[in-house]
A and B are shown apart, each in its own frame.
Chain A
Amino acid sequence: MNAVASYRSPWGHARGRLASLLMVAGLTLPVVASAQALNVINGDTTQKIALSDLREISDTTFTLYDPYQGREVEMQGVAFQTFLIEQFGEVPPALHFIAWDDYEVTLDGWDDPNWYLITKEDGDPLTIRSRGPVRLVERDYGDRDVENLREFNDWIWMIRSIEAKW
């Protein structure tokens, strides 16, 4: 896994240079305004949580092999169980997610301290381009085969809204 993390192709170098250029340009460019908040829905109430606020409460950092990126990544986020309790008072039986790419899914079993809502990766805020602005990952995925991405279907990317299903 470490070998994969340290590998950088010539194209990777080119992308690195472009990323630097983007960072400079980002200061002056219009940002996609719609991807600046996470909608948390509880019944008829929708609360918009600013991504900056989410990043501020992201108090946990750990390093994890991300099977989608094929390398060790330093992830920073908030324990999802704690987040749910703060937002809904308790962990709802199920959650309905809508992503920025319009992917929708309803999943249960979130009363599990293993899930984290990630806002930063290797110190940089997640964007839609890096499958953000927020993403759900399992801090410990046991001995699941990292080559088989089907094993990681529950890692929800590009989350736009989270709705409690009671």
Chain B
Amino acid sequence: MTSEPKTADQSLMQTRPLTRRYRYVTWLSLSLMSFLGLMILIVYEARWVYPEIQAYFSQTGNLTGQQLATRSRMYLQNAQSELLAEQPEEDAVDAAIMNIELAYGLFNVHVYRQQYECTEPSLVELDRLLVQLQLEAREIERLTAVGELFTPIECLTHIEMVQLDRRGEAINAFSESTRQHNQVLTYASLLIFALGLVFWWLHERQLRRTDRATQETFAWMQRAMSDPLTGVGNRSALYQDVLAKQDQSLGLILVDIDFFKQYNDAVGHPQGDRLLRQLATLIGQSLNNEAQLYRLGGDEFAAVTPCSNTATLGKYCHQLIHALSEANFPHPAHPDKKSVTLSVGGTCFTAGEKGFAVAYEAADKALYQVKTAGRDGWQVTEDA
């Protein structure tokens, strides 16, 4: 029997730290983290793509920008042109030798020898041809030499084609990879963006709920501090307002309706309630709307006004009695056959917890004196 409440308490104690721990993981932070994640993803993808593009498309103008095979082939073709050109034998051969030497240098690369079978025989062919061209007693006709260059040129063309194919395949692979990355980026971006929006919407909803709860709390506090019948403040509000005006010179006026019980008995409580509302309005107006008005209980009101001296306060009290007299609310059960009358007591005081208690007592004493003197009047005591 006793264990059940204990279990409930324990579960509360366990969940509280968790709640506290996750209090800071709000929808707003999740939303912001989503958008941050989106930014990071985009930057990462951009950083990935850029070096790849560099690798494939920024090789122009440097040593390996143009294939060595292409350059070598061009020199061999230049050599052929020199050999076929109408020019002195020696000039033609010297120019051809120079071009073949250059072609050889660009052709004789490890990667070609390793990957293309035609490279080694072609280099041997070029070696042999150079020897024949360089011998003083030249052993080869120019036209024959031109013909012998076709085999290395064919090899170089083959290398070029394969290299071009490979580059094309690499670019295709890169293109496919980029397309896949783009797809991932697009869908991931959309997902993260949607998540960000959802989190943002949850954040907004939470904000609205919090705002509504704050407004409800505020309204509840307002209701707790006001009199539901007349709409003026209640005793708690009086106490709180006076404390909020610490050290200010204030006047406290206590108002009591004379013979209100008889009034209620004669005309009924609904009419009595109406009279209370009318009096609340009248008291406020007669004090030039400068006073804060409170209902302390059944037939008792209090008003707090700025008060520089007791004469001013007396003036307020006089205005109040006079306004009521003019209003001439009928009182069918008044023992003195009068209309509704009030007994009013007041005092000036300096706001504060202690000062208010003293002032309340002094004003109540003044009110009591009015009542014992026959009611329908006012009295202000010296400063409390």
| Nearest opposing residue in chain A for B93, CB measure | A30
Cα distance, A1 to B265, chains bound together (Å): 119
| Nearest opposing residue in chain B for A21, CB measure | B131
Cα distance, A158 to B127, chains bound together (Å): 19
Residues from chain A with Cβ under 8 Å of B131 in the complex: 18, 21-22, 25
**Cβ-based interface call for B128 (8 A):** yes
Query: Which 4 residue pairs are nearest across A and B when measured between Cβ atoms?
Result: A70-B110, A11-B120, A29-B134, A128-B101
Contact with B along A1-39 (1 / 0, CB 8 A): 000100001011011001101100100111010100000
Residues from chain A with Cβ under 8 Å of B128 in the complex: 18
Cα distance, A128 to B124, chains bound together (Å): 16
The number of residue pairs between A and B whose CB atoms lie closer than 8 Å in the complex comes to 89
**Cβ-based interface call for B316 (8 A):** no
Contact with B along A88-119 (1 / 0, CB 8 A): 00000000000011010100000000000000
Q: How large, as a class, is the contact surface on chain B?
A: 20 to 34
Knowing A105-B62, A130-B105, A150-B59, the reply to whether A22 touches B110 (Cβ < 8 A) is no
Number of interface residues of A (CB under 8 A): 39
Binding site for A on B (CB under 8 A): 55, 59, 61-64, 71, 75, 94, 97-98, 101-102, 104-106, 108-111, 113-114, 120-121, 123-124, 127-128, 130-131, 134-136
A129 touches B101 (CB 8 A): yes
**Cβ-based interface call for A71 (8 A):** yes
Residues from chain B with Cβ under 8 Å of A21 in the complex: 131
B110 touches A69 (CB 8 A): yes
Instruction: Determine how close the nearest CB of chain B comes to the CB of A144; give it in whole angstroms.
Output: 14
Give the contacting residue for B75; candidates A29, A30, A67, A101; CB below 8 A.
Answer: A101
Residues from chain B with Cβ under 8 Å of A19 in the complex: 127
Residues from chain A with Cβ under 8 Å of B124 in the complex: 11, 14-15, 18
Residues from chain A with Cβ under 8 Å of B127 in the complex: 15, 18-19, 22
